[in-house]
Amino acid sequence: MSTETLRAWLDERIGLQYLIELARKKDVPLHRHTIWYYFGGMTLFLFVVQVVTGILLLLYYRPSAENAFESVQFIMTDVEFGWLIRSIHSWSANLMIATLMIHMFSAYFLKAYRRPRELTWMSGVLLLGLALAFGFSGYLLPWNKLAFFATKVGTDIAGDLPVIGPFLLRFLRGGDDVTGATLTRFFGFHVAILPALTTFVLALHLLLVQKHGMSVPPSLTSHNLPRMKFFPNFFLRDLIGWILAVGVLAALAALFPWQLGEKADPFAPAPAGIKPEWYFLFMFQTLKLLPGRILFIEGEVIGILAFVIGGIVWLLVPFLDRPEENSRRTRWFTFAGIVLVIYIATMTIVGYLS
Amino acid sequence: MDDRTTLRRKLLHYLMGTSVGATLVAIFYPILKFMIPPPTSEATQNSVVAGKVTDLVPNSGKIFKFGNKPGLLIRTASGEFKAFSAVCTHLDCIVQYRPDMKIIWCACHNGQYNLSGQNIAGPPPRPLTQYTVNLRGDDIIVTKG
């Protein structure tokens, strides 16, 4: 069969011509903020790395309190390139959350959430929540000491919420304590429930991005901007970024292989200086700084509620900052975003150093 | 395009193709190797206590663990002890002793072996590996080879 007939055959069945038109339509505006357009694709690439390495790890991982630690040890020591696959999975998870944060804050500061992209923004915030849930549930799976206590603390924080807290705690732990049942449960979240939800929300997010095209920052809309074809020009640039990411991942995995630590022991005290992963550190540090009691309520509960409300406000940003209204409000949102970034950065550094 | 430009373009295509190819190999080689499980350590022990003399009445058999493989210990009707690999040479099923027929039988495809381990009926292509049996007090010691 010649290429032409194959093409015609496919076109008749899947509308190849339509897809080609779609790819041809897309272009990327070129201006001084163009650099920020790379981070969404980079996050997507790192997500694909997570899917591939995650599926590979599934071939050897055993999700039970008796076997989990040993199976990860087996992966790290016996399986060919096991150390590489596991280290890349861990490193890529961290890099993915980092690029996701950059992508999100750049979208925030360039006001990319504005009409008609409200749902794009909201699906993005949901994806952040899912990524954090992936990080939290995946952290327990090697069943080492740090993971065990991190999960105890993390689920306990959820349990502090008023009204739904006790239910949430039992739901997350699969009982009153962190046990093998928790591990099995987190495994289920990590490899089945979260991937299913993520597939759906990610598809929506990408679909909306295709539909609306690239957002142009409001400060630039008046100019007649030059544009670059997405296929193949900008895509090739994306590819260079992805190859760099593969290099960085391989270097990190080789030079700083992810440690396994000691097997969890439910009857041993928590190790000194225990801390969550960096992306939870600013919340951890905030809770540490709050006094035991504020008026009649526990300080911790106030802090947790503040984070929940903060998350909801963040989700609803497109409806709060509307361009039709005066620009003072818009400037206020930019200012609040800067304060937020400084706050997160400061708390993370303080938490890291303390 | 003059010849030099064509040549330069060809060279660039070659360099790009090989570097993309090398990158893909560097990514997929570890993935393929990872998917092949490492060899499970063979039973290093050459002999094992398969059971007690009192475990077995004449004309009976039992499965014992020889490292990570099953073995079959038989006490014949005449009271003699014999031991074989319990892995059927046909398709890896685990064989058993049939007291009614006084043979070793594989339930999967009706493979049959006599009490010397010879394949006498059914699909098995080769005899079962026979082990040496020694008694040490009450213990039945099975040794390879």
Residue of B nearest to A75 (CA): B34
> Given this model, what pLDDT does residue A325 score?
60
Residues in Cβ contact with A33 at an 8 Å cutoff, skipping those fewer than 6 apart = A106, A110, A217, A220
User: B18 vs chain A: nearest CA distance in angstroms?
Assistant: 14
Tell me if B102 sits within 8 A of B77, measured CB to CB.
yes
Sequence-separated (6 or more) residues with CB below 8 Å from residue B137? none
Is the pLDDT at A67 greater than 90, yes or no? yes
* pLDDT at res. A301: 87
Task: pLDDT band for B47, please (50, 70, 90 cuts).
Answer: confident
How far is Cα B132 from Cα B81, in angstroms, rounded to an integer?
9
Residue A32 CA: distances (Å) to CA of A42, A214, A216, A238: 19, 14, 11, 17
**Cβ contacts (< 8 Å) between B35 and chain A: which residues?**
56, 59
User: Is B37 at the interface with chain A, CB within 8 A?
Assistant: yes
For chain A, give the number of residues.
Answer: 354
User: Which of A104-113, A203-212, A263-272 shows the lowest per-residue confidence on average (mean pLDDT)?
Assistant: A263-272
pLDDT over 80 at A235, yes or no: yes
A contacts of B30 (beta carbons < 8 Å):
80-81, 84-85
CB-CB neighbors (< 8 A) of B23 in chain A: 243, 246
On the question of a cis peptide bond just before residue A162, with omega within 30 degrees of 0, the verdict is no
Candidate from A32-36, A132-136, A320-324 with smallest mean pLDDT: A320-324
Asked whether the predicted pLDDT for residue A30 surpasses 70, the reply is: yes
- What confidence tier does B42 reach under pLDDT thresholds 50, 70, 90? low
Distance from CA of A84 to the nearest CA of B (A): 8
Nearest to A56 among B23, B26, B31 (CB): B31
Nearest to B66 by CA among B128, B138, B137, B136: B128
Name the pTM for this structure. Answer: 0.84
* Number of other CB atoms surrounding residue A126 within 10 Å: 18
**Least reliable range by pLDDT among A99-108, A318-327, A335-344, B115-124:** A318-327
CB of A303 within 8 Å of a chain B CB? The answer is no
Instruction: Identify the pLDDT of residue B43.
Output: 58
What HEC string does chain B produce? CCHHHHHHHHHHHHHHHHHHHHHHHHHHHHHHHHHCCCCCCCCCCCEEEEEEHHHCCCCEEEEEEECCEEEEEEECCCCCEEEEECECCCCCCECEEECCCCEEEECCCCEEECCCCCEEECCCCCCCCEEEEEEECCEEEEECC
Q: Which stretches of chain A are DSSP H helices? A: 3-14, 16-25, 38-58, 68-77, 82-109, 118-140, 145-159, 165-173, 180-188, 194-212, 235-255, 278-289, 299-315, 317-320, 327-353
Length of chain B: 145
Number of A–B residue contacts, CB under 8 Å? 31
Three-state DSSP at A215 gives: coil
Of A56, A84, A250, the CB nearest to B35: A56
Taking each helix axis as running N to C, give the angle between helix A278-289 and helix A327-353, from 0 to 180 degrees, rounded to the nearest 10.
Answer: 90
How far, CA to CA in Å, does B12 sit from each of A231, A233, A241, B15, B19? 20, 17, 20, 5, 11
The mean pLDDT of A81-107, rounded to a whole number, is 97
From the list B26, B27, B34, the residue facing A80 with the nearest CB is B34
* Chain A CB within 8 Å of residue B38 CB: yes
Q: Is the pLDDT of residue A220 over 90?
A: no
Give pLDDT tens digits for A15-24: 888 888 888 8
Q: Do B23 and A52 touch (CB under 8 A)?
A: no
**Residues contacting residue B97 through CB under 8 Å, at least 6 positions apart:** B60, B61, B72, B74, B103, B104, B105
Are the C-beta atoms of B31 and A250 separated by less than 8 Å? no
Compare CB distances from B38 to A78, A84, A246 and report the shortest one's residue: A78
Contact (CB, 8 A) for B141 and B50: yes
Q: Pick the closest to residue A72 from A179, A151, A144 (CA basis).
A: A144
Q: Do A246 and B27 touch (CB under 8 A)?
A: yes
Tens of pLDDT, residues A237-294? 999 999 999 999 999 999 999 999 999 988 888 887 788 899 999 998 898 888 877 7
Q: Measured between alpha carbons, how far is residue B107 from residues A129, B97, B110, B111 in Å?
A: 54, 10, 5, 7
Residue reference for tokens 């190859």 = A243
**Please, what sign has the CA dihedral across residues A149, A140, A248, A27?**
negative
CA-nearest residue of chain A to B23? A243
- Residue A37 zone, left/alpha/beta (φ > 0; ψ -120 to 50; rest): alpha
B23 touches chain A (CB under 8 A): yes
Which of A144, A258, A150, A134 has the alpha carbon at shortest distance from A187? A134
Q: Which residue of B has its CA nearest to A56?
A: B35
Angle at B132 between CA B130 and CA B133, to 5 degrees: 120
Q: Do B33 and A80 touch (CB under 8 A)?
A: yes
Pick the residue of A61, A79, A92, A249 with the most B CBs within 10 A to test the interface with B by mutation.
Answer: A79
For residue B24, what is the nearest residue in chain A, using CA coordinates?
Answer: A243
What is the number of other CB atoms lying within 10 angstroms of the CB of residue A119?
16
User: Which one, of B131, B126, B48, lies nearest residue B88 by Cα?
Assistant: B126
| 3-state secondary structure labels for all residues of A170-189 | HHHHCCCCCCHHHHHHHHHH
What is the per-residue pLDDT across B48-98, written as a single tens digit (0 to 9) for each?
A: 888 888 888 889 898 988 887 888 999 988 888 999 999 888 888 889 999
Amino acid at A165: G
DSSP A263: B
This complex has an ipTM of 0.80
Which chain A residue is nearest to residue B33, measuring alpha carbons? A80
Q: How far apart are CA A177 and CA A170, in angstroms?
A: 8
